[in-house]
A and B are shown apart, each in its own frame.
Chain A
Amino acid sequence: MSQQREVSREMQNAFVDGQLDAADWTALVERMGSDEALRRELCELRTLKDMVKGAYADARPRRAAPAADRRGWARVAGLALVFALAGWLTHDATERIGAAAALHGVAASGLVVHVASSRGEVVDTALQEVEDYLSDARAAGRKVHVEIVANQTGLDILRAGKSAYAKQLERLRATYPNLTYVACHQTADRLSEQGVKVKLLPGVHFAPTALDEIVKRMQQGWVYIRA
């Protein structure tokens, strides 16, 4: 009787994906000998697998590893120590930004703040933390440089006619000449491909990619924080 039962789709998939145990595999192979419909269905599944694989056979990264790759990655590896100490790079934005308080004890020549989101709570907190950091450094007579690097949807904060933070960013830059803004060219390219014209706020510069800029700054001994 069991020979007459249909082989479930899950079982068929598991067969073509090599996920059956030996006993089930043997039973199914035996069944195939007398079940033409099953053979055809399995053949179709196998063909679909090949089609999916073939569909992406020529997919290659458009951008190779950053030019400063070897040394850059070494710096990233070193950075991992900083992250581990400060508890950054977590998923929770509040926790990430909250950890920025630890910056006050960090002796670094510069701070690169990575903004990859345009969400209000992320940007508001990041800008507030940057201002507090610069203000404290000035009061303590410490020379520091802060750079805000924006990509993905975070690029919006640096776009003329799009940014809800244009005035705040301009005020901050006027108050702290040691604060700079950098936009990711790769993100801008992507927007351009979608027909979006990207114009930056005054004084904002492009970097080839956010990663390039972050790696470059870390090579210079800067500390990285993700907003």
Chain B
Amino acid sequence: MKMRGLFGVSAQLRARVEAQREPLFRLAYSWCHDAALADDIVQETMLRALGRAEQLRDQTRLKGWLCAILANCLKDHYRSAGPLEPLDEDMPSHAQSPEAASASSQLAARVRAEIGRLPLGQRQVVTLVDLEGFSYAEVGEILEVPVGTVMSRLCRAREALRARLIDLAAGQEIKIRSIR
């Protein structure tokens, strides 16, 4: 009986984990700007998550829990790969996509490039808040840093982005909204 219940929970959990593949990929990609690496990290995250399913005490916090595993997977990757992060440049497949010529895609590519120039800690904070809508407290839990650190990293990240990007925003706002 106990086994049956456990497998029932696991089946439900794996479906919920699988449903998070796309947002996890989006985050992983925004952190490393390498689509193949992002795929690897997401797969590793899912393996680890299901291997540690018993650690998820509060089912409503699945997404944050997965993001925390994702952050650790990336950290482990960089640790094993050496101290260097991948180049802070945009992913080639985006530049080669059919839409690359459109203004909105060019703007998106420029924004990604500027996000790629941020230190990883700032990049993670700004994308967790802006892409996935996590609260500052949740981001602190995911990255295992105090809320004050989250706020200061976010400030620095947005200051840097504002300085480099805000001029581009003039006249682009309609296009930006159209691709959301």
Contacts and interface: CB of A to CB of B under 8 A. Distances in A.
A50 B51 CA distance: 36
Interface in B2-28: 6-7, 10-11, 13-14, 18, 21-22, 25-26
A153 B36 contact: no
B150 to A, nearest CB: 10
Interface of B: 6-7, 10-11, 13-14, 18, 21-22, 25-26, 29-30, 34-40, 42-44, 46-48, 50-54, 72, 76-77, 80-81, 92, 99, 104, 107-109, 111-112, 115, 126-127, 129-131, 135-136, 151-152, 154-155, 158-159, 161-162, 165-166, 169, 173, 176-177, 179-180
A62 B36 contact: yes
Contacts of A56: 26, 29-30, 108, 112, 127, 131
B86 to A, nearest CB: 9
Contact of A186 (B36, B107, B111, B131): B36
Given A77-B10, A83-B51, A62 B81 contact: no
B176 A47 contact: yes
Interface of A: 9-10, 13-14, 17, 19, 44-45, 47-63, 65, 69, 73-74, 76-81, 83-84, 88-89, 91, 116-119, 122, 151-154, 186-187, 189-190, 193, 209-211, 214
B25 to A, nearest CB: 4
B50 A80 contact: yes
A193 B36 CA distance: 9
Given A50-B180, A76-B50, A77-B11, A14 B43 contact: no
The SS class assigned to the B binding surface is: helix
Given A49-B130, A152-B81, A187-B40, A44 B50 contact: no
A44 B166 contact: yes
Nearest to B155: A9
A156 to B, nearest CB: 10
B50 A77 contact: yes
The SS class assigned to the A binding surface is: helix
A73 B115 contact: no
Contacts, number: 173
Contacts of A45: 158, 162
A190 to B, nearest CB: 4
A150 to B, nearest CB: 12
A52 B162 contact: no
B136 A52 contact: no
A63 B39 contact: yes
A73 B136 contact: no
B14 A76 contact: yes
A57 B165 contact: no
Nearest to A90: B52
Contacts of B104: 54
20 contacts: A10-B155, A17-B135, A47-B166, A47-B169, A47-B176, A50-B180, A51-B107, A52-B161, A54-B177, A56-B127, A59-B35, A77-B11, A78-B7, A91-B72, A116-B44, A118-B80, A152-B80, A153-B81, A186-B40, A193-B36
Given A14-B136, A55-B111, A211-B47, A89 B52 contact: yes
A17 B136 contact: yes
B41 to A, nearest CB: 9
Contacts of B76: 91
Contact of B136 (A19, A210, A214): A19
Contacts of A186: 36, 39-40
B37 to A, nearest CB: 6
